[in-house]
Structure formats: C-alpha cells, structure tokens
C-alpha cells in the first residue's frame, strides 16, 4: 500500500533544497557580521511554556498547537490505552514558534550570569495545525533571531538593518517594512479603554472571533482579516496617540536611526502582534508578490517575557522569518539549480576502472565534486549521463589512455577537449577550470 505524506507536511527535494541551503548560508553570514551565536532548541517543550508565553487566548494556543500527553513523563511505563487520571504524564507540545524556547534555554542555562546581553539565532521546523495554503504549512521552517538583555532602541533598529542586509544578500528587493509601536504596561491600559469604547458600538456587527477577543485582547480585533471587521474598525483610534513619553521617545529614536541609515519604512498603526508578550516596537517585512499572506518576516520587542517565564527582568527583541515564503520569493526572482558535479569520470575497460575509482577518491579529497559510473557502460552512455547531471567537465580514461599516461578532459559547456597528464589531473583541473571546485549554487 502506498503511504503518502501527512497533509501540510512536505518533503524538500533535490532541486528545491538548494534554494533553502543558499538562504540559510546567507543568513549565517549576516548573523556572523552582527555577532549572533547559533542556538539549537528542542522541537518538544512543555505545553505550559507556550500557554504562558503566547497567551491563553491566542489562536495558536487555543486552536493550532500539536499537544499530547507523554505517557512516560512520570517515569511510569503504561500499557496501551487511556491513562488513568492519577498517573497521567506531562502535557507536551511541538513548538509552534521559537522565541519561547530560546528564552527558556537562556533562563535554564543561566546565560545571563555569564553575559547578560545575548544575540541568538536558530533555524528549524515549527508546527501549527492550520489550513495549509501557499507558503503556509503545518510543519514550516523559520529563521529566528533574539536579542536578550538590551532595551535600547538601537537594538530594534539593528535587527531591522540585519534583515535588510539579509534580503540584499539573497538578492531580494521590493519588500516593504511596516512599523508600529504597541506601547507598554504604562500607556496601553488607557488605549485599551478607548478602543473598547469604539468597538463596543460595533460589537454586534463584528465576527464571532472578534466579539470573543474584545474582552481579552481588543487590540487583536484590529488584525482581523475578515473584510467586514476591517471596514468596521477602519476609523479605530491609533495607539500612536496614546504612547507614554518613554515609549514615544523609544519609537522616535528607532525611526530616526532607520532614517539615518537609509532604511525606508511606512507606519502601520493597525499592525499588532498575535502574541501577548509583545510591547513597544512591532514590525513586518511584506511583499506584494505573496498575495494575502504577504509577511516574510515579523517581530518586535518583548521586555517582560523573560521575567514571565521565571528569569530576571530582561528586555528582549526579535523576529521570525518564514523559510517557505522566502524560498517562494527566490523562486519568483531566479530559479536556483541543483549543484553541478565538477567532474564526471568516464572509464572504459577493466584496467581503467581500477584507476578511475582511486582517482575519484583523490579528486574528492582535493576538493572536487566527482561522479563516476559503477558498472561497465559504453562511452556514449556515460557521456549522456554526464550531460544529464550537468557536469562541468568529463575526464575520459580508457586502457589506451592509461598506457600513454594521458587522459582526455572535455569541457561539457564549450565542448572543447584537452589532453592532460594522469599524474597532474588535479593540478590541470584547477588551472584550466578553477570554478570546478565544490561551489554550491554558483552554477
């Protein structure tokens, strides 16, 4: 019986993975320039980590998390079947986002005692049970970055510049930076009261989700994608008119720094974050080429999250970037082809086969990507295979070539052929075709 992949869980195949590797490599280059360190966090965490960090009323916690009871969490091996309530194990969740896990690791390892300011990034899969659609899957991948221990607006601006540099390095343009401030615990209550008064007059016309959210987190009503709700809240008061002096100064400095470094942005007072831990600076990088799901990267400041999860008072700011959407944009701009072998070693005859196997190993150790046939096949068949793999060159060796100690090197692009000495194959390859070293996506 044929077994298919689970809906919303996709394979990344050869021919596709090269774009992923390209983006990940460039991300690591940029993170190194900004002095970030990589961290790898578990895919599974205790459910309470996300319910406490994301908020009980968020869509993620209420509807989208993959959560289950670990039958062995209490150290008791249970037989198959329902667990008795008295010995039920811990509730575990496949991570729906990375920030909470990174903060948990920061607290648990007491990284703040060694160096309170940490710049951390991670790359990996996240899991949310939502309707699969273009650029949005149930297992999806993110590049995540967090700056912990800095509450200054320079950290906010630095993250936005990092993202601009990353987009430039992968060759993407036409992205728009949208910016907002969500205020803080000092100024948000006054705005909440005014917003509730505005929404109360329209409550009965709002969708069911928005009516439910009003009493818990009314700002999230502004983020509703239902057309009716968008129209009803079009004239809603802006939080930018309610910022306290500290938040206003912070946001003003962020905008000033972006202006000084030539990073264009547009204010979007309606933009809120779907997670409860955000405050002050919030941002999204969007693309008009992605349709309604147009956010490529998003994030903001979360100064109370570390303390909420049991750590010392520590400010933080970060972002998450969806790999699927980034790769979609790369595919629209330029097709990344699979890496090409530098050399296809063609051998004809039993004696040549023995030499070719050892030569292949030597060339690989010298840094060349080499492919070779394992079974005896005709010269024509092997050359067709070299052409199909888009090999840059073919090194042809038969029994006659071994006797003369000279092989034929064929440039598969120009079709030119040269004779080279067998003892100097690696040197000749480097001299004649220096680009043939292992080179990832340059081909």
Question: Which runs of E-coded beta strand occur in 79-151?
Answer: 91-94, 118-127, 139-148
- pLDDT at position 180 is 92
Give the pLDDT confidence of 327-350 residue by residue, as tens digits.
888 876 654 455 678 888 888 887
Report the run of H or E that residue 406 belongs to, with start and end.
strand 406-411
Give the residue with greater pLDDT, 142 vs 435.
Answer: 142
Per-residue pLDDT for 326 more than 70?
Answer: yes
- pLDDT at position 205 is 78
Per-residue pLDDT for 103 more than 90?
Answer: yes
- pLDDT at position 87 is 45
Per-residue b or e along 3-29, where b marks 16 or more CB atoms closer than 10 Å to that residue's CB: eeeeebeeeeeeeeebbbebbeebbee
Per-residue pLDDT for 91 more than 90?
Answer: no
Give the residue with greater pLDDT, 245 vs 421.
Answer: 245
List, in order, residues 6 or more apart from 381 with CB less than 8 Å away. Answer: none
Per-residue pLDDT for 89 more than 50?
Answer: yes
- The topology (CATH level 3) of 17-187+243-333 is BirA Bifunctional Protein; domain 2 (3.30.930)
- pLDDT at position 291 is 59
The reply to whether domains 17-187+243-333 and 343-436 share a CATH topology is: no
Range of lowest pLDDT (216-220, 347-351, 354-358, 406-410): 216-220
Arithmetic mean of pLDDT over the chain: 82
User: Residue 186 is encoded by which pair of tokens?
Assistant: 């000092």
Nearest CA to 221 among 305, 64, 208?
208
Query: What Cα–Cα distance (Å) separates residue 294 from each residue in 290, 322, 328, 329?
Result: 5, 11, 11, 11
Q: What is the CATH number of domain 343-436?
A: 3.40.50.800
- pLDDT at position 86 is 44
User: Residue 404 is encoded by which pair of tokens?
Assistant: 């003369």
- pLDDT at position 337 is 54
- pLDDT at position 394 is 86
Question: What are the start-end ranges of the H helices in 264-370?
Answer: 305-308, 323-333, 350-365
- Residues of the chain with pLDDT > 70, as a percent, come to 86
Query: What is the rounded average pLDDT of the residues 39-51?
Result: 88
Question: In the structure, what pLDDT confidence band is assigned to residue 153 with cuts at 50, 70 and 90?
Answer: very high
- pLDDT at position 134 is 60
Highest mean pLDDT of the ranges 135-149, 220-234, 290-304 = 135-149
Q: Could you state, in order of their start, the residue ranges of all structural domains in the chain?
A: 17-187+243-333, 343-436
- pLDDT at position 237 is 85
Per-residue pLDDT for 122 more than 70?
Answer: yes
- Main-chain dihedrals φ then ψ at residue 241, nearest 5 degrees: -85, 0
Give the residue with greater pLDDT, 180 vs 428.
Answer: 180
Query: What is the rounded average pLDDT of the residues 388-395?
Result: 85
Give the pLDDT confidence of 158-209 residue by residue, as tens digits.
999 999 999 988 888 888 999 999 888 888 888 888 888 888 777 777 887 7
Highest mean pLDDT of the ranges 26-30, 113-117, 388-392 = 26-30
Per-residue pLDDT for 438 more than 60?
Answer: no
- pLDDT at position 239 is 85
């Amino acid at each position: 019986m044929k077994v298919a992949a689970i809906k919303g869980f996709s394979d990344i195949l050869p021919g596709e993975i090269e774009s992923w590797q390209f983006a990940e490599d460039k991300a690591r280059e940029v993170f190194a320039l900004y002095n970030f360190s990589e961290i790898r966090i578990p895919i599974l965490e205790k459910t309470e980590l996300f319910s406490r960090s994301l908020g009980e009323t968020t869509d993620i916690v209420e509807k989208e998390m993959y959560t289950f009871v670990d039958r062995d969490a209490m150290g008791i091996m249970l037989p198959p079947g329902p667990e008795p309530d008295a010995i039920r194990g811990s509730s575990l969740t496949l991570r729906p986002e990375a920030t909470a896990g990174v903060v948990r690791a920061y607290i648990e390892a007491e990284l703040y005692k060694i160096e309170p300011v940490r710049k951390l990034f991670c790359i990996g899969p996240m899991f949310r049970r939502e309707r699969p659609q273009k650029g949005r899957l149930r297992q999806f991948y993110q590049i995540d970055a967090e700056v912990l221990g800095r509450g200054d607006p320079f950290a906010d601006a630095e993250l936005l510049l990092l993202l601009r540099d990353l987009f430039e390095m992968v060759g993407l343009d036409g992205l728009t930076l949208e910016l907002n401030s969500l205020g803080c615990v000092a100024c948000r209550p006054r705005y909440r009261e005014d917003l509730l008064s505005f929404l109360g007059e329209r409550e009965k016309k709002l969708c069911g989700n928005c009516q439910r959210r009003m009493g818990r987190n009314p700002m999230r009503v502004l983020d509703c994608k239902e057309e009716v709700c968008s129209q009803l809240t079009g004239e809603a008061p802006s939080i930018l008119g309610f910022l306290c002096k500290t938040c206003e100064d912070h946001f003003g400095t962020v905008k000033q720094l972006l202006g000084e470094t030539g990073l264009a942005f547009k204010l979007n007072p309606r933009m809120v974050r779907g997670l409860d831990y955000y405050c002050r600076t919030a941002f999204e990088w969007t693309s008009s080429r992605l349709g309604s799901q147009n956010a490529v990267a998003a994030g903001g400041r979360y100064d109370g999250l570390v303390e909420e999860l049991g750590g010392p008072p520590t400010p933080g700011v970060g972002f998450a970037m969806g790999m699927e959407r980034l790769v979609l944009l790369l595919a629209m701009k330029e097709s990344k082809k699979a890496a090409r072998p530098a050399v296809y070693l063609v051998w004809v005859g039993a004696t040549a086969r023995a030499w070719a196997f050892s030569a292949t190993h030597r060339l690989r150790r010298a840094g060349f990507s080499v492919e070779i046939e394992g079974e005896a096949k005709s010269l024509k068949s092997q050359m067709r295979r070299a052409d199909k793999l888009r090999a840059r060159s073919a090194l042809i060796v038969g029994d006659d070539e071994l006797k003369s100690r000279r092989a034929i090197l064929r440039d598969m692009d120009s079709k030119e052929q040269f004779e080279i000495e067998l003892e100097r194959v690696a040197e000749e390859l480097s001299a004649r075709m220096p680009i043939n070293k292992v080179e990832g996506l340059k081909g």
